[in-house]
Amino acid sequence: MFQKVLIAEDQNSIHKGLENILKDLKIKEIATAQYCDDALLKIKASLNTANPIELLITDLSFKEDHRDRTLTSGQELIRAVMDVQPELKIIVFSVEHRIGKIKKLIEVSKVDAYVEKGREESREMIKAVRAVLKDEIYYSHNLAQLIRSADDISQTDIYDELLLQLLAKGLKRNQIASYFEEKDLPARSLRSIEKRINKLKVLFDANTSEQLVAIAIDRGII
Amino acid sequence: MFQKVLIAEDQNSIHKGLENILKDLKIKEIATAQYCDDALLKIKASLNTANPIELLITDLSFKEDHRDRTLTSGQELIRAVMDVQPELKIIVFSVEHRIGKIKKLIEVSKVDAYVEKGREESREMIKAVRAVLKDEIYYSHNLAQLIRSADDISQTDIYDELLLQLLAKGLKRNQIASYFEEKDLPARSLRSIEKRINKLKVLFDANTSEQLVAIAIDRGII
DNA sequence: TTTGTATTTACGGTTTTCCGCATAAAACTA
DNA sequence: TAGTTTTATGCGGAAAACCGTAAATACAAA
C-alpha cells in the first residue's frame, strides 16, 4: 500500500472522513492541504525526503478567500504537480459531474482516477486507491457509461470551444471573425464562423445561439 | 441546546465531520438521511414522538441514482418540510455560492441560516447553530456583503426570470411572445419582450443575448 | 371624472443573423 | 501530376433581432 498520501481539499468536514478511509487501507502517513499552493509546496518538499508523497487526492474547486493564490483550481495544481513529480499518482475527488470536464482530466491531464462526491464516495474511494496502486485507471461506477456516450463533446475542437467562449463573452459574429483574423486562426471569415455555430447547434440540438451557450455551460464545455 | 437534529446530506464523508461538530455542541440525538425523501419521512415520523426534530441541516443538491425520488433537491425538501412542520429550524449547508439562489432561500423559503461549504465551514456551522438557537438569522461571513451588493438581482421579477429561462430553452423572441400570450401574462407583445430583454442586458451589462444567458446562469438566476 | 404619468402596443426602418449557392482554395488520392 | 473531395470564402436574399417613435392603454393622484 502507499506509504504517504496528500489530500488537497478545502472542506474540512471531509478531511476526517477521508482520513478514516485511508487509515483503514493501512496508509501510514496522511498529509493535508487546504490550498493548492500549500499542496504543491508539500509535494516539492517531500521530494527530497526519504519517503516522498506517492499519491495525491485532490478536489477540483477551491474557494477564494483573503489569501493570494497562484494556483486556483485542482486542474492547475495537477498541471503544476506533473512538472515537478510526473510519476505521482493522482485521484481527483470532486462533485464535478459535467462529462466534458471529466473527460479532459482523464485524457489530457492523465489523472489515474476520478471519484465523484456523493452517496457511494467512501466505497468508490477505496476501490480507486486499490486500483491506482495496481497501476490501473479508475473512474467511479456511474461515469463509465457516460464517458462513452459523450463522444459528441470529443467532436468539438479547440476552435469550437473558443467560439463558444467568445459567444458567452458577448462578441457578435463579425467581432468573432475579427478576433479569429487577429489571432491568425483558420476559418476566420464571417461565413465560416456562422457555419461553425450552425454545426454546433446541430450537434447539441440547440434551436438558438442562446440555447447553445446554455447547453455548453451545462455540459462543462466552457 | 437543541435536543434532536437531522442532517440531510448525500456525501457520507461529510457526516462524520458534521456529527463531531454537533456532539461538541452538546446535541443529544443526531439523525441522518442520504435522500430528501427519507429526510421528510423522518421528520414526519418524529412529529408524533416525545422529542421531535428541532433542527434540519440540509444540503441543496442531491445526486441522482437508481432510486426513484419525489423530492430531488434541498429546495424541494424545505418546501415540503414547511408544510408539515413550519416551526422547524433550517440551516442550509451547501457549496452553492450563486447569490441569486441564496437570496431566494433566505427571502422566499425563509431558512434560518446559510453556511457555505469551504475552509471555514466547521467554525461557521457552530456559529450558525448557536445563532439559530437564539432565533437569529445567520449567513456565513463572506456572504453578508454579497447579499447587499446583489440588489440588481432583486430588480428582476418573475417575468424576467421566466423570460431568461425561455431564452435558455431555445425559444425565439416571437415564440416567447406567443408563450406570454397563451399564459395570459402582462406585456406580451413582441416589442415588450424585446424591451424586457434590453432592460436585462443593461442591468447585467451584457452585450448580446447570448452573454445575457451566460450571466444569468452564472449568477444562479436560472 | 379629469389630469398627468407610466406602461404597453403597433409600425417602420436598420442591423444582424441565418442560409443557400457558387466559386476559390486546400487537402487528399491515385 | 491530375483528378477528386473537402473546406473556406464571398455574395445575396430572407428571417430575426434591434431600436426609435408615436398612439393606445392602464394606472394613480387630484
Residue nearest to nucleotide C11 (CA to C1'): B191
Domain range for residue A90? Answer: 4-149
> How confident is the prediction along chain A (222 residues), in pLDDT tens digits per residue?
999 999 999 998 999 889 999 999 999 999 999 999 999 999 999 999 999 999 999 999 999 989 999 999 999 999 999 999 999 999 999 999 888 888 888 888 999 999 999 998 999 999 999 999 999 999 887 777 776 666 656 678 899 999 999 999 999 999 999 999 999 999 999 999 999 999 999 999 999 999 999 999 998 888
A124 and A45 share one domain:
yes
Q: pLDDT tens digits, residue range B161-213?
A: 999 999 999 999 999 999 999 999 999 999 999 999 999 999 999 999 999 99
A110 CB neighbours strand D below 7 A: no
Q: Which of B58, B150, B61, B73 is nearest to B112 (CA)?
A: B58
State the pLDDT confidence band at B151, using cuts at 50, 70 and 90.
low
B200 CA to C10 C1' in angstroms comes to: 23
State the pLDDT confidence band at B82, using cuts at 50, 70 and 90.
very high
By the CB < 8 Å criterion, does A63 face chain B?
A: yes
B63 and B127 share one domain:
yes
- CA dist B58 and B135 (Å) reads 18
Min Cα–Cα distance to chain B from A115, Å: 12
A22 and A125 share one domain:
yes
Instruction: From A149, A169, A184, give the residue that closes a domain.
Output: A149
Q: Running DSSP on this structure, what letter comes out for residue B108? A: T
Question: Locate cell 423522518: which residue?
Answer: B42
Task: Enumerate the residues of chain A whose CB falls inside 8 A of the CB of residue B179.
Answer: none
Q: Quote the pTM value.
A: 0.88
**Residue predicted with more confidence, B29 or B142:** B29
Interface test with A, best of B18, B204, B210 (most A CBs within 10 A): B210
- CA dist B182 and B3 (Å) reads 51
CATH value at residue A204: 1.10.10
The chain B residue lying nearest A12, using CA atoms, is B119
A87 and A52 share one domain:
yes
Q: Running DSSP on this structure, what letter comes out for residue A58? A: E
End-to-end CA distance of chain A: give it in Å, rounded.
Answer: 38
**What's the maximum distance between 2 C-alpha atoms anywhere in chain A?**
61
- Yes or no: say if A216 and A204 are a contact pair by the CB < 8 Å rule: yes
A30 and A129 share one domain:
yes
A96 and A195 share one domain:
no
pLDDT at A97: 87
A127 and A21 share one domain:
yes
Q: Which nucleotide is nearest to A192 (CA to C1')?
A: D8
Cα B169 vs. chain centroid, distance in angstroms?
22
By the CB < 8 Å criterion, does B191 face chain A?
A: no
Cell of B60: 441543496
By the CB < 8 Å criterion, does B118 face chain A?
A: yes
Q: Which of residues 181-200 of B touch strand C (CB under 7 A)?
A: 186-192, 195
A132 and A99 share one domain:
yes
pLDDT at A153: 61
Task: Enumerate the residues of chain B whose CB falls inside 8 A of the CB of residue A11.
Answer: 14, 117-119, 121
With a cut of 80, say whether residue B149 has pLDDT above it. Answer: no
pLDDT at A149: 64
- CA dist A127 and B220 (Å) reads 35
B180 and B142 share one domain:
no
By the CB < 8 Å criterion, does B16 face chain A?
A: yes
Residues 6+ apart with CB under 8 A from A172: B207, B208
Cell of A35: 490550498
B192 CA to D28 C1' in angstroms comes to: 22
- β-sheet bridge partners, residue A58: A8, A92
The nucleotides of chain D lying under 7 Å from a protein CB are 7-12, 16-21
3-state secondary structure (DSSP) of residue A183: coil
A119 and A176 share one domain:
no
- Dihedral angle sign, alpha carbons of residues A32, A33, A37, A41: negative
CATH value at residue A91: 3.40.50.2300
Instruction: From B121, B149, B177, give the residue that closes a domain.
Output: B149
Q: Which nucleotide is nearest to A201 (CA to C1')?
A: C18
Average pLDDT value for chain B: 93
B192 CA to C6 C1' in angstroms comes to: 14
- CA dist A57 and A132 (Å) reads 11
- Yes or no: say if A87 and A118 are a contact pair by the CB < 8 Å rule: no
The b-or-e profile of A1-34 (16+ CB within 10 A means b, else e) is ebebbbbbbbbbbbbbbbbebbeeeebeebbbbb
- CA dist A175 and A160 (Å) reads 15
Cell of B88: 422547524
Q: Which of A21, A16, A13, A156 is nearest to A91 (CA)?
A: A21
pLDDT at A108: 85
B139 and B164 share one domain:
no
Considering its fold, how many domains does chain A have in total? Answer: 2
- CA dist A64 and B103 (Å) reads 20
Query: What is the signed CA dihedral for A118, A120, A126, A128, rounded to 10 degrees?
Result: -70
End-to-end CA distance of chain B: give it in Å, rounded.
Answer: 38
Angle at B98 between CA B92 and CA B101, to 5 degrees: 55
Instruction: From A93, A121, A149, give the residue that closes a domain.
Output: A149
A98 and A36 share one domain:
yes
State the pLDDT confidence band at B154, using cuts at 50, 70 and 90.
low
